[in-house]
Chain A
Amino acid sequence: MPKNITIFTTTTCAYCPMVKKYLTTKGLSYDEVNLDQNPERQAEALQLSGALTVPITVVTKEDDSKAVVIGYNLAKLAPAVA
């Protein structure tokens, strides 16, 4: 079980609700950072992922290691939150 999940989103991104829906169906809670409303955090999203895109899902595990999933990519998201 992850210690913490943060999703970086934008208001108009169609893939972002899919990630949130997936996590909800798995019973996982998450924090959301909307980059339209919090543009000052774009640099943080870029630093974590190396990508200028959303959604970016940052999964912090029990041992504080981080998994970063770019986009709506279930093949990577599912093992990251397992």
Chain B
Amino acid sequence: MTEDAQTSVHDVIMIGAGPAALSAAIYTTREDIGTVLFEKGVPGGLAAITDWVDNYPGFPEGVAGLELATNLQKQAERFGAVIEVGEVLSVKDEGEYKRLETTEGDKLAKTVLIATGSDYKKIGVPGEQEYYARGVHYCATCDGAFYRDKKLVVVGGGNSAVQEALFLTRFATHIDLLVRSEIRASDVLQKELQKNKDKITVHLNTTTDGIIGEDNKVVKVIGTNKQTGKIVEFQTDGVFVFVGLDPNSKFLQGSGVELDGIGLVKTNERLETTVPGIFAAGDIRSGATMQIASASGEGATAALMIREYLEGRKHPIQN
């Protein structure tokens, strides 16, 4: 099952090059399935911009997100995966083939793996857009160094928010962590948070209502303490936002691929979407656990299902 050079039909095009797609590519290329990945951002996706990953199996001391992403990429490329820089704009099912409209022209594939993951969600409050990249940030590993010896606000209470707040203690003198309800991060991260309580002050049940600037700089965040109903203010030099994920699925409009209520791709137990030959894995999949390890696992599963599909055989577990 190699590339058909005359018609330039790829065996599989993977949309995205995060842990799910890179893991899938390791499997498909080793099966001699011609594999092209389209990535509009950074190979490794959100994993690549995560400071430190402590829960990916096989790394007893943890691993830098960028290092994990780079190694996944190298491993996939070693077996022949091709990573192209470009964005998929739409997907159309033409029966035997799928047509992908991309920024690099139209591409044809026998099968498609949707592994576009998610981006960090915006809070949607006044000042957020206005001060984007000038005091409001979504990538601590990129922009944390600008806040050496400064005060910061981090918004969010999940693993990402706590992990990145801990990372930002390398630079900031003090961090106010604004959590809308309760901390949802893992126990390990919560213990780390406790160890850093002199540098990170946690404000539970506190909404973030606005980001205020003066002279073109962020100076404070305004919120509400939900228990007292009182307005609270936090003087700060910058704001880092980690309040959940926004699925990268807008390009699927009109494709026939069914999405759930929040825009994640619905699949069956074989990770196949509502369009035969189009599969989904990782954070973009409805029901995914949003973990790097499970994204890799889903990628491997999707690769095996793609192989079965290309061979025209049903999976042995099917009747």
A residues contacting B by CB (< 8 A) are 10-16, 18, 22, 35-36, 39, 42, 50-54, 70-72, 74
B137 partner, pick from A14, A15, A53, A70, beta carbons under 8 A: A53
Using A14-B48, A14-B69 as known contacts, say yes or no to A52 and B143 having CB atoms under 8 A apart. yes
Residues on the A chain within 8 Å of B93, using CB = none
Bound form: Cα–Cα A74–B102 in Å: 14
B residues contacting A by CB (< 8 A) are 41-42, 44, 48-49, 51, 64-66, 69, 85, 133-135, 137, 139, 141-146, 148, 238
SS class of chain A's interface: helix, strand, loop or mixed?
Answer: loop
Residues on the A chain within 8 Å of B65, using CB = 14
12 extra interface residue pairs, beta carbon distance < 8 Å, beyond A13-B139, A14-B142: A10-B142, A12-B66, A13-B141, A15-B139, A35-B146, A42-B145, A42-B146, A50-B134, A52-B135, A52-B137, A53-B137, A74-B85
Bound form: Cα–Cα A42–B237 in Å: 15
B42 partner, pick from A12, A15, A42, A54, beta carbons under 8 A: A15
B238, closest chain A residue (CB): A52
B137, closest chain A residue (CB): A53
Determine which residue in A12, A35, A39 has the highest number of CB atoms from chain B within 10 A of its CB, and name it.
Answer: A12
Are A53 and B148 neighbours in the complex by a CB distance under 8 Å? Answer: no
Residues on the B chain within 8 Å of A11, using CB = 145
